[in-house]
Structure 1
């Protein structure tokens, strides 16, 4: 029994010791967790401050204050990126600064070069000689006034050549005029000149060009005469296309008559007008006739009289007769029997048979003037 009582206190002591040990472990655990949580919170706050500043100094401060922090490696990585980006920016700034400096230098150099260019050009202008302009081209092959210099040199050389040989200038003028008459005049003045062969070639080209529409029109007339209207129409079109008045007139005629094409008074009037404007008297009469009757065009007797008058001035019998009729009637023009009589007489002289009877009729209507019976001093 004693032994049991002796063991009981020992067990009680062991139980107390275990409880105390457990309590100490719990307290230590709680304390460690508190310390750990505090350190984590401090670490997180320090890292948030570094992120908020987002610069090298901020991340380095975090690493100094928290050398064992959870974000040390991340801080090193971010610092490396920031430094790399800063290095790239510095490099870019340096490149831009260098580029700006080079541009400024180039601009300054260009300004100096332009000034020298202007100075050299003014010197060439003052001297105004072939040699002076050639010196400019030699010194400034890509200068601002290269084209002007080349043009002036060409003009000076041409002037010098013309001074030595007047045929050069005369030929240039004849070519510029571009007419048969101009070239014939040149050949008459300089038949043995160096330019004469070329002048003859140019003259032959012009004569051939002038003959071409005439020949085509003649081919059209020949085809028309034997009833080959389609062939005639094609030839007349080619002749008219080259501005030959008779060819244009014939285009009007075939459209008026409907030869090889459908009759079309409007188109006929268009063709007649074109030929009339070129001075063809037949076209002037035909266009006037269409205006007078309102065929293919709006009726306009006054304008018809104008075209009859143009033909009459060229001695066209029908133009004279038709204008005389209008004067006799007082249509489109002032009624004037005396003028009508003059026109009918001219038309009769030009072979218009109807005009003979008109003359007789008008003579009966127009009173004869009394001869002068006053003694002349």
Structure 2
């Protein structure tokens, strides 16, 4: 009985060690990819990201998708970009929702884009909230736009703060209010938003 317990512990420890080793390998390759990318060695970066992604590294999947989307290290391929963004999402890399949503939006697939942004917003990602604001703005749903911009602004998103300022300045679905606009422009400017600084 003791021998069985000992063997179980040994096997369990070996599996844990192998899993940990695989994760570390994925991390090492991701770091190599990031290093190559910082030097704009796109082909080399692509190779490292692909190796890490194939080992299940979600961040590498995201970078691989971005490279396919922008034609870095490989020919531009939106189908592959979408495929890898989806894999990153399945592996809980939530920021891939934003990138995938932007691809959909740029191809006039507004419902798909909206779904991505909403999922990102549900995960507390301010960029998802901001992009929902923009999506509603393009559809002239001003009340929904300001609602999402305010949620993003509450999380410190400077672009959302600036957009709220514009909405107050222009009086879109709000009473035009220069003081309120100025307040929001100042918040955005304090965070380094250049256009908000110019508005002030």
Q: Which TM-score tier does this pair reach, normalised by the shorter chain?
A: 0.7 to 0.9
Structure 1, residues 303-342: CA drift from partner, whole Å, max 9, x if none? 11001111112222221111122233448xxx461x4323
Q: Secondary structure at the match of 2:102?
A: helix
> 1:285, CA displacement in angstroms?
0.8
Give the whole-Å Cα distance in 1 for the aligned partners of 2:79 and 2:9.
49
Q: Secondary structure at the match of 2:72?
A: coil
- Number of aligned residues: 173
Alpha-carbon distance change, 343 to 237 in structure 1, aligned in 2, over 3 angstroms: same
> 1:302, CA displacement in angstroms?
0.4
- 1:229 paired with 2:34, answer no
* Paired position in structure 2 for 1:346: 151
Higher relative contact order (CA 8 A, sep 6+): 2
Whichever of the two has the greater Rg, that structure is 1
- Matching of residues 262-273 of structure 1 within 5 Å: 262-273=75-86
* Paired position in structure 2 for 1:302: 111
> 1:222, CA displacement in angstroms?
0.8
Q: Secondary structure at the match of 1:281?
A: coil
Unmatched segments (≥5 aa) in structure 1 = 1-160, 172-192, 369-377
Out of 310, 324, 327, the position equivalent to 2:136 is: 327
Give the whole-Å Cα distance in 2 for the aligned partners of 1:336 and 1:211.
47
Give the whole-Å Cα distance in 2 for the aligned partners of 1:279 and 1:340.
27
* Paired position in structure 2 for 1:206: 19
Out of 88, 93, 96, the position equivalent to 1:283 is: 96
Q: Point out 4+ residue stretches in structure 1 off by more than 6 angstroms.
A: none
Q: RMSD of the TM alignment (CA)?
A: 2.8
Tell me if structure 2 keeps the 8 A contact 1:276–1:287.
Answer: no
Give the whole-Å Cα distance in 1 for the aligned partners of 2:156 and 2:65.
24
* Paired position in structure 2 for 1:317: 126
* Paired position in structure 2 for 1:274: 87
Give the whole-Å Cα distance in 2 for the aligned partners of 1:201 and 1:270.
33
Structure 1, residues 200-229: CA drift from partner, whole Å, max 9, x if none? 222111111222222211210111111222
- Given the two structures, how large is their TM-score scaled by the length of structure 1? 0.41
> 1:234, CA displacement in angstroms?
0.7
Structure 1, residues 138-184: CA drift from partner, whole Å, max 9, x if none? xxxxxxxxxxxxxxxxxxxxxxx5xxx7xx6xx7xxxxxxxxxxxxx
Tell me if structure 2 keeps the 8 A contact 1:292–1:301.
Answer: yes
Tell me if structure 1 keeps the 8 A contact 2:167–2:174.
Answer: no
Give the whole-Å Cα distance in 1 for the aligned partners of 2:103 and 2:160.
20
Give the whole-Å Cα distance in 1 for the aligned partners of 2:7 and 2:82.
50
Unmatched segments (≥5 aa) in structure 2 = 176-200
- 1:248 paired with 2:70, answer no
> 1:366, CA displacement in angstroms?
4.9
